Amino acid sequence: MNKFNYIIGFILIITNLNLTGSSYNSLGQTGLIHLPSAEVHQEQSIYFTFNRSNYIKLGTLTVTPFDWVEASFFYYRPDDLLWGNSKGLYLDKGFNVKFSHKPKSLLLPTIAIGLDDFAGTGQFTKEYIVTTYSLNNLKLTAGLGWGKFVGDSSIKNPLSFFDDRFSERERLSENYNLGGSLSYDLWFRGRSTFFGGIELPVPYIKNLKLKLENNPFDYFKFSCCGEGQSEESYKARVKEANYNYGISYKYKDYGNIDISFIKGNSWNISFSIGFSAKSKHRKKDKFAPELTDTNYQQKTNKNEFYLDLLENLNNNKLYLQTAHLSESSLGITIDSAEHINPIISSSRAAYISKEALKNNNLNVKKIEVGHLVRGIKLNSITYKSSDLDLANRYPDVLIKMNSSVKNSDPIAYKNHEFKPTVKFPVIINSISPDLRTHVGSPERFLYSGLGIKFNSEIQLSRGLVINTTIGKSLFDNFNKKESIPNTKLPPVRTEVVDFLQQSSKSFYISNLDINYIWPIKKNVYSKISLGLLEPMYGGIASEILYKPFNRNYAASIEFNNVRKRSFDQKFKFQAYKVSTNRINLAYYYHKMNILAKWSYGSYLAKDKGYTLDLSRRMPSGWRAGFWFSQTNVSAEQFGEGSFDKGFYINVPLSIFSKGYSKTVTGISLRTMTRDGGQQLELRNRLIDSFYGSNQYEINENWSNYLD
């Protein structure tokens, strides 16, 4: 074993000295240069890392839903490997995951277990156990690695002491099939190696650090795929030193720029940028409502009060829908334009109502606020008037005890005394950029197009709405991609390139559908949609949802009959038609904000099976999760990837502003565009709608009372 590897590995393992995760390794996770650390980013964070050296380009998206787990998805493009008899066209992708534990005692190190590229082709397959310790500004790392960590220096696997099966590691997993399956029969097997490193601040230069690590890798072991190595490989991948060193500059919590000299002969540069939705990037404006007073001498007319209430609520974008005043209480329903959080909107509305009552020489003990969405009253939140005090705000726990959260008759508001006239149709139009992409082809990582789109929402009544999105491409490179569906199933999604190419020639209609939502009874909702439902399919879609107010689960049934649209995305259809009927179940574990969804039924290619979706959903609107589908289609029929899977991240834009907004943006990515396990891409499924319609969703927001 090389002396440098042995000394830095053995000594640091024994002493538990290691490095923090304030920088990023080559796979975009927290770590040194090419080595991981035991720490993870702050929870609710998302970071993108781009790494460039003399032989690879590597892009990584890293998400940290909890403070104990970090997951990454990466695309890897080597410059030297052959693909189609050309260099630099091979493209691989994979997943990494790290589980971290940080002891409460500052004297103990953080420890983590990680799996890199644990499924698929296994280009980067490796596992590790690593510890992290921080002593003032000095940070040290030590760990034990398996798989691709092992280069020309190794030791016998310590785990073979427990079972001889850990002694040997096969070249390819028995579960490989056509990629995408977990390679668990390789994990932590075969010979292992020590690794470690150090990070310390550069004196007098804030946020600049020096990093040094040992280099256990054999870079030729990362060149297994494509059509093989080229002559350039023997120059680019040779290692002339068993250590790497570099500098890292951290810009607040938004990312790093790293410049390193690796393997004794190459420069490496890495850019990382991201943020945590848990951090307050912009301080919110304090709640200071705009209140007007009509200054009547005698304010005893109830109708004058209702008009005052209407004006004051509407001026603060808490739009009054109905109101009813009795001797001891006031009941109102509102529709908030800005707030996802039902406690923020209801407590603000209750406070403004109390001030309007005061202006009209009226006094009540309780104010009940209900949220009205598409003509359905979702909840009933009642506050004591004495608690509505901005100057002396009571503790959240006390407010929760004094207030009442109840199930509500979804149409009880129709009996309210005051119902402002709404002049239908209400038309809302907007124009916005339209970015269309096709990601992950071997020939090119990204095909994209930029255009403009016209969005229209026409409300014919509270529950009846027409939605339209019409786009026009300004420029794109979709014509550079050849459409080769290469499928053994009906091409329900693999002809996506044909849709992108043909629709770019003129205007295209992404969707044009009419939707009607109504309550069947308390806790039971229905929806029916008709028209061009999504860019590739049109027809009729219906759903019935049961979401009990006092339970943390929901269930729905879908009945969809659709036909494939023409490639130009206008009004014509192709011959292919299919029915996709499904059962959807959702369970929300509110103590950890985990949302689990499971659905079973038929898919667009007429295959049958289930989809499991696991995510962490925060009250702010931040959400990150992954999903996979297993159907009665074999891996051979499905094609590369073996089964359908992907991940998504949603970020509320209000974390970057001083005010509030319901706008949420994000990304979603499936590892392969195949035809098995494909669902309709319906907007606003009922199983995903009506946040705030059960007590668990309301009660997790009390800390935002009168925010």
* CATH code of 368's domain: 3.10.310
* Pair 414, 442 in one domain: no
- The dihedral built from the CA positions of residue 148, 149, 154 and 158, taken in this order, carries a sign that is negative
What is the tens place of the pLDDT at every residue in 57-89? 999 999 999 999 999 999 888 888 888 778 888
CATH code assigned at 181: 2.40.160.40
DSSP 676: T
Q: What distance in Å separates the CA atoms of residue 511 and residue 544, rounded to the nearest whole number?
A: 22
| pLDDT band at residue 4 under the 50/70/90 scheme | very low
Do 503 and 642 belong to one domain? yes
Q: Are residues 212 and 310 both part of a single domain?
A: no
For the cut 50, the answer to whether the pLDDT of residue 16 exceeds it is no
The answer to whether 246 and 622 have CB atoms below 8 angstroms apart is no
Paired residues of 333 in beta bridges: 322, 370
Asked if residue 687 belongs to a domain, the reply is yes
When divided into structural domains, the chain yields a total of 3
Last residue of a domain, one of 390, 421, 452: 421
pLDDT in tens, 469-500: 999 999 999 998 888 888 899 999 999 999 99
Which whole number is the average pLDDT over 590-615? 97
Residue where a domain terminates, one of 421, 450, 476: 421
Q: For the residues 550-562, what does the mean pLDDT come to?
A: 97
DSSP H or E run through 468: strand 464-476
Q: Which domain holds residue 689?
A: 426-696
| Whole-number Å distance between alpha carbons of 332 and 313 | 11
| CA 612 – CA 514 distance, rounded (Å) | 29
Model pTM greater than 0.85? yes
Which residue bears the tokens 């499904």?
582
Rounded average pLDDT over 48-62:
92
Instruction: Indicate whether 260 and 316 sit together in one domain.
Output: no
For the chain, percent of residues with pLDDT exceeding 70: 93
Is residue 393 domain-shared with residue 480, that is, in the same domain?
Answer: no
**Claim to verify: residue 409 and residue 431 sit in the same structural domain:** no
Has residue 213 got a pLDDT over 80? yes
Domain shared by 417 and 430, yes or no = no
Band (pLDDT 50/70/90 cuts) for residue 294 is: low
Would you place residue 671 in the very low, low, confident or very high pLDDT band (cuts 50, 70, 90)?
Answer: confident
> Alpha-carbon distance 332 to 320, whole Å?
7
Whether 704 maps to a domain, the answer reads no
pLDDT > 50? residue 335: yes
